[in-house]
A and B are shown apart, each in its own frame.
Chain A
Amino acid sequence: MSEPVIHTDKLTKRFGDFVAVDALSLTISSGEIFGFLGANGAGKTTAIRMLTGLLAPTSGKATVAGFDLYTGAEGVKRNIGYMSQRFSLYDDLTVRENIRFFAGIYGLTDQAIKEKSRQLLETLKLVAVADTRLASLPLGWKQKLAFSVAILHEPKIVFLDEPTGGVDPVTRRRFWDMIYEASGRGLTIFVTTHYMDEAEYCNRLCIMVDGKVAVLDRPEAMKRHFGVESMNEVFIQLARPHRTE
């Protein structure tokens, strides 16, 4: 755990009268797996959009990957990776073409792209299907590829927005293996999920309720604090009384 990769101080986003994210203060270190949870409409998506430089904050301070969110949004974008549930790969391109395309987007040179593609195909054991269209591959492979592509440009941090939604239990766990390995190499992981067992795989968790941080701690400490057995119970206890819409 070294210098913070994400640091926010009272980061706030308003839409008119509505405060979508209210004074979010976080410090996330390099290599940390940080879980970001909350009910629908609790402000998760807005927070992620701010942290990825897609949405300008209303007030508060924030640096991501060493860049200020207000002045260095381009620098932020260059140093982060992003993957969502509907992993942004192209189904009608082959594995190799997908890698090539995304590497190109991140501005890698032709030589680097060739080298990276070769490496990636080997480590992911996708050499045999390199020229197969993505559409015909099993979901688990696509997911692996999507994650690898999201971190192809060696970002400092990767945002995973419900990366395992609708995925079978085995594939889900294989995906978490990849997350652990990447975190071991020093990549910071910022992940959202609706699976509460996955919440327990995170180093630290933040639960958002109505735009505010309701609790931010290690999963074990949270369970101890609420005197319950699982994260699911923590979540339900926290989110329920505040639900007013």
Chain B
Amino acid sequence: MKEAVLIAGVGKRFGEVQVLQEVTLSVGEGELFGFIGADGAGKTTLFRILATLLLPDEGRSEVLGLDVVRSYRDIRKRIGYMPGKFSLYPDLSVEENLRFFASVFGTTVEKNYELIRDIYSQLEPFKTRRAGKLSGGMKQKLALSCALVHRPEVLFLDEPTTGVDAVSRKEFWQMLGRLREQGMTILVSTPYMDEAVLCDRIAFMQEGRMLALDTPTGITTLFRKPLFAIRARETWRLLCALRASSHAASVYAFGSALHYTDNRPAVRADELLVALQADGFTEVSVSVIQPGIEDTFIALMEEKQGSDHV
């Protein structure tokens, strides 16, 4: 597979703060690649470097085989970039925004309508509405249309789903899936772990470093301990009790259950169940589960924080 994006040892500091550190990875052509991490993980800085808006302090980077520092002008013509806050003109209508961004790239909406039809058709009934009056979900779709209207070869989407409700988020990812089928390379960043499974490959980002890089299923193999899902009637008391236990390696709430790892190597689910019932918990259930992406992320974060403290 040809590489669309290459990042080699990239680092960036703002004053005293090292916001990116030794990030190395490559994204293949046609890949849907996700950067997963919270605010301050360095995702935006990395995207800005790739979009030629910031210069890296260390390392080098290429987009479509072009150096981001030297050939920035050529790169800009061939990529689509959607910054974190949807950068639209609130006083321009939906249609005027789209036409403007098309004209900026020396093209027209009609020329590339095929590509955005799927997304833009949902906005067309409101095309005379001012962009500032759109809901979060609609703004996001318009911003994506604007980033696509010049038919870019690589698409950079910086936190496109932040602050957008679950329904719009789901629709948005369906659109990304269809763009990917058409062969577009897409780099997307998100703080939502549940979106990671929808990517071909993902990189975990935390405090400017890459924690891990793999396919969504591959990455969970980094979670090595057996993982239990425990439920009981009083979740909060259960959480406190498990945390207080000397055997607990980690206890985290996941929806209605607690995800638990034990520091005894061969502990079984039924042993845990019995112990909890003995402590007076009712409606207890304990089952062994496959770790998910969020479990893995948390485990890797803790591992790193542990090693930092030593």
Contacts and interface: CB of A to CB of B under 8 A. Distances in A.
Contacts of A119: none
A140 to B, nearest CB: 10
B253 A201 contact: yes
A139 B165 CA distance: 23
B112 to A, nearest CB: 25
Interface residues of B, number: 38
Q: How large is the interface on A (under 10, 10 to 19, 20 to 34, 35 or more residues)?
A: 35 or more
Contact of A236 (B167, B191, B193): B167
Contacts of B159: 166
A196 B39 CA distance: 19
A180 B39 CA distance: 24
Nearest to B167: A239
Contact of B191 (A166, A173, A231, A232): A166
A40 B165 contact: yes
Contacts of B136: 40-41
Interface string B163-206: 11111101000000000000000000001111000000000001
A16 interface: no
Interface in A161-180: 162, 165-171, 173, 176-177, 180
Interface string A194-205: 111100110000
A201 B253 CA distance: 8
B206 A173 contact: no
Interface in A130-175: 139, 162, 165-171, 173
B105 interface: no
Nearest to A238: B167
Interface in A79-123: none
Contacts of B167: 39, 235-236, 239-240, 243
Contacts of B253: 173, 176, 197, 201
A171 B252 CA distance: 11
A177 B301 CA distance: 18
A194 B138 contact: no
A218 to B, nearest CB: 10
Interface in A203-232: 219-220, 230-232
A38 interface: yes
B255 A41 contact: no
A168 B190 CA distance: 11
Closest 7 CB pairs of A and B: A168-B38, A40-B136, A166-B39, A39-B165, A200-B255, A41-B135, A197-B255
Given A166-B39, A169-B298, 10 more contacts: A40-B163, A139-B39, A168-B206, A168-B301, A169-B301, A200-B255, A201-B255, A230-B255, A231-B255, A245-B135
